[in-house]
Structure 1
Amino acid sequence: MEFNILEICLLTALCICFFVHLYYVIGVHAKLVGYRIADLPNSTSQPLSVVICARNERENLEKYLPSVFEQDYPNFEVVVVNDRSWDGTADFLETLQKKYSNLKVVHVAEGEKFIAGKKFAATMGIKAASHEWLVFTDADCEPATKNWLKGMQTPADNQVDILLGYSPYFKKRSLLNALIRFETFFTAVNYLSFALKGMPYMGVGRNMAYKKSLFFKNKGFAAHMHIPSGDDDLFVNANATPVNTIIQIHKDTHVWSEPKNSFLSYLRQKKRHIGAGNLYKTKHKFILSTQIAVQFFFYALAITLACFPRTHFIAFGVFLFSLMVRCFVYPQLLKCLNYGELRWWFPILDIILMAFLVFNAILSIFVKKVQWK
């Protein structure tokens, strides 16, 4: 069977995309499949500070903050930054201080100078923290178990400055929730796998930790204080190295979080993330952009070639082989990262997610304004 020039070019492009995509699946993400999750230590080492920023989060603080104080850890404080709330957060925290002696409250007043969204609040919390090791989470988050801080405590290796945890979203019965959880899963697989590969590029503020001295040594968020997002991923992107960064994905250390409940609010959230991603190191932007572009063109080329009578069997075969490889890797990771039930919907959600990422990227070109809350 002879192919014309157009078919040869398209088939060549499909093969290139296939092999590059295969690199990300087998060369990067499969590292997480083979990662040995160590048991949590029975003992605790150094005291630590949990830092939580809250803006109009009284309802979530009432629901989830007690689980932080119930941690099986002998010496820790909880620093809650009340960032200009008007929903009664201040009153609730004042009441809670009478119950928990290890609660420290920091108030950010209206009109405070140099306010830049969550980053100003986080900086105030870090300054107020009494201990060197800082563990971060959000007001709408709940640790999976009482052993969360045992797993997120100061690592035995003194060279480690940053510890990247994992934070899944609560399950709800909707297609939007499935999409949010699936996108979060792939984001986590990416940053955790690249960290194992010696190229840490981000973390999530819902569950991560680092040294207070690292923050001030590198001038905190000064390099990106002008944008409202990036208090977590941009800080890691600027300061993480192959030597000073490790991961923690033991199921007892997962921190569950409330997902967005509307498509519009989810779009706003992803818009903030894209804004932060624009300030990643050049090599990280190239790797991540290539990853998304290759996957998009792989789908597009496979569909296009499937429409040609002389190439449809080849296109179908390449796509099927790619799907088989991914179905070997990702269902294992979905189970490991507390999203096991999504593995049955993996092929469908993979296509939906690809379409959403393209849509969101196009939308971000026209919608510029973002804010924390």
Structure 2
Amino acid sequence: MLNIIFYVFIGVVVLQMVYYLGVYGKFAFAKPLSITTKRLPVSVIVCAKNDAENIKQLIPLLAAQNYPDFELVLIDNASSDDTLDIFEEFEKQYPNLVRLVKVENNEAFWGSKKYALTLGIKAARKDYLLFIDAKCMPNSTEWIAHMSSQFTMSKTIVLGYAAYEKKKNSFLNKIIRYDSVLTATQYFAWARAGKPFNGNGRNLAYKKDEFFKVNGYINHIKVHMGEDSLFINEVATNKNTSICYTPESFTYRESRKSFKEWVKEKRKKTFTASFFKSADQLQIKAFYLSQLSFIVLAIVLAALQFNWMFLVPVIIVRYIAGWVTMAQSAARLHEKDAVYWYPVIEIILIFTQLYVNFTNLFSKPTHWK
């Protein structure tokens, strides 16, 4: 029986190696990205709800972008604070740049971000759309230029990296940023493998035609979240999707301040992923189950005193493959310190995800407000 458990353990490790080296390595060990500046017409979409303090910082940074042809589509999603007033002030300050969309609560789409974004997208006058969250900041004045550089005649979707700001002496911050690196590695790598399945609305671009081809969010309009992930999962293909991972193209937002807030966010992401295509759900679950099985089987084999001369080398090889791959990916995304505690953080993430999966069985996470 002990030998059978070990053989299963070997199979799990092989599956992990396939993920880390065979799939995630397509991004981690990829060549540096080449940038060719284009002059495509771009509408930058900002959807805000009660984000008065954040947009005071964001809009001037967007207005200062070094790009020849863009507009700012500012969407106020029925805010109850000063968001609309501040947007109106920016509209007066940048009359040739800002296009303001005022959204009132609709009984059929009460507080729905998808409804608000749809109105904003319809109001956009440019052919290419670039999305950033109201709580985010672009990493440079070249953000639009770098993200739009990856558009071609066939590549009409560009996936970008949305990071969290670093906090000194915060282990939680390292966990959150490693989780962000892992998520980005997954959707970047699968896109490079020709099977894109996910994206992050805090840094995402696509041609407006892609939105109208599928009637926008209509196929998942009743899911009150996932305006980015579910849309990309539906429309992205190996022919129309590109990625951008230059430092100038990154966006940043403040990190979650507590473990509880972070878990709440993970619950939303996990719930959204339950509406992905079956094949995409399968590959996500297979990776997570292989991670959980690796930890559990390693503990069982060690507890039952399986021959350490066989067990230890397998564990070491697996950790080297995972650590090297994620370290390379983190370096590419300027998150090197996020992987220093890789084995510990990985275990925390595995059991946090187990808690999230269990909790989501009994209650749905709250949607965007």
TM-score band w.r.t. shorter chain: over 0.9
Structure 1's unaligned 5+ residue stretches are 1-5
Distance 2:359 2:365 in 1: 12
**Cα RMSD (Å) of the superposition?**
1.4
Q: Scaled by the length of structure 2, what TM-score is found?
A: 0.96
| Cα distance in 2 for residues equivalent to 1:362 and 1:55 | 30
SS at match of 1:295: helix
**Structure 1's 119 and 154: CA in aligned 2 closer, same or farther, altered over 3 A?**
farther
Given that 2:151 and 2:158 are in contact with CA atoms closer than 8 Å, whether structure 1 keeps it comes out as no
2:230 matched to 1:202? no
TM-aligned CA deviation for residue 369 of structure 1 = 4.3
Select 2:69's aligned residue among 56, 68, 75: 75
Q: Deviations over 1:285-331 (max 9, x none)?
A: 11110010011101110111011223344332211111112222211
Correspondence for 2:81 among 74, 79, 87: 87
From the superposition, tell whether residues 134 and 36 of structure 1 become closer, same or farther in structure 2 (CA, over 3 Å). Answer: same
Equivalent pair of 2:163/2:250 in contact (CA under 8 Å): yes
Structure-1 residue corresponding to 2:101 = 106
Shift in CA distance, 151/112, structure 1 to aligned 2, threshold 3 Å = farther
**Deviation sequence 1:144-201 (CA, Å, 0-9, x none):** 1111111111645211121101111001242222211111110000000000000000
SS at match of 2:348: helix
- Structure 2 distance, partners of 1:65, 1:180, is 26
Assess if the C-alpha contact under 8 Å between 2:264 and 2:365 holds in 1.
no
- CA distance, structure 1, for counterparts of residue 250 and residue 57 of structure 2: 17
TM-superposed CA distance for 1:117, in Å, is 2.1
**Equivalent-residue separation in structure 1 for 2:120 and 2:254 (angstroms):** 22
Q: 2:354 aligns with which of 342, 358, 369?
A: 358
The answer to whether 1:22 aligns with 2:31 is no
Paired residue type of 1:32: F
1:304 corresponding residue in structure 2:
300
Q: 1:119 touches 1:225 (CA, 8 Å); kept in 2?
A: yes
Structure 1 outlier segments of 4+, above 6 Å: none
Aligned to 1:3: none
Q: Report SS of the residue matched to 1:40.
A: coil
Paired with 2:292 and 2:46, the residues of 1 have a C-alpha distance of 37
Q: CA deviation at 1:270?
A: 1.4
2:46 is matched with 52
Assess if the C-alpha contact under 8 Å between 1:161 and 1:211 holds in 2.
Answer: yes
Q: Distance in 2 between matches of 1:37 and 1:98?
A: 41
CA contact (8 A) 1:229 1:275 kept: no
Structure 1 residue 116, shift from structure 2 partner: 5.9
> What amino acid does structure 2 have at the position aligned with 1:79?
V
Contact kept, 8 Å, 1:161 with 1:245, in 2: the verdict is yes
Amino acid at match of 2:148: Q
Alignment correspondent of 1:184:
180
Residue type of the partner of 1:56? N
Instruction: Report the Cα offset of residue 38 of structure 1.
Output: 2.8
Q: Write the mapping of 1:1-373 to structure 2, written as runs, cut at 5 A.
A: 6-41=1-36, 43-101=37-95, 102-111=97-106, 113-115=108-110, 117-153=112-148, 155=150, 157-173=152-168, 174-373=170-369
Distance in 2, Cα, partners of 1:106 & 1:156: 26
**1:104-132 CA distances to partner (integer Å, 9 max, x unpaired)?**
11111134543462111111110110011
AA aligned opposite 1:13: V
Gaps of 5+ in 2: none
> Structure 1 residue 84: deviation in Å?
1.0
Bigger mean CA offset, 110-119 vs 325-334: 110-119
In 1: Cα distance, 2:206 partner to 2:110 partner: 23
Measured in 2, the distance between the counterparts of 1:94 and 1:302 equals 59
Q: State the secondary structure of the residue aligned to 2:71.
A: strand
Q: Quick one: which amino acid aligns to residue 69 of structure 2?
A: N
Contact preservation (8 Å) 2:224, 2:368:
yes
Look up the SS of the partner of 1:78 in the other structure. Answer: strand
- Once residues 365 and 252 of structure 2 are traced to their aligned partners in structure 1, the CA distance between those partners, rounded to angstroms, is 28
- Distance (Å, rounded) in 2 between the aligned partners of 1:153 and 1:369: 34
Do 1:14 and 1:301's aligned partners in 2 also have CA atoms closer than 8 Å?
Answer: yes
1:218–1:322 Cα change, 3 Å: same
Cα deviation 1:84-113 (Å, max 9, x = unaligned):
111100111111112112111111113454
- In 1, the alpha carbon distance for the partners of 2:59 and 2:272 equals 28
Moved more, 286-295 or 165-174: 165-174
- Cα distance in structure 2, aligned partners of 1:319 and 1:111: 55
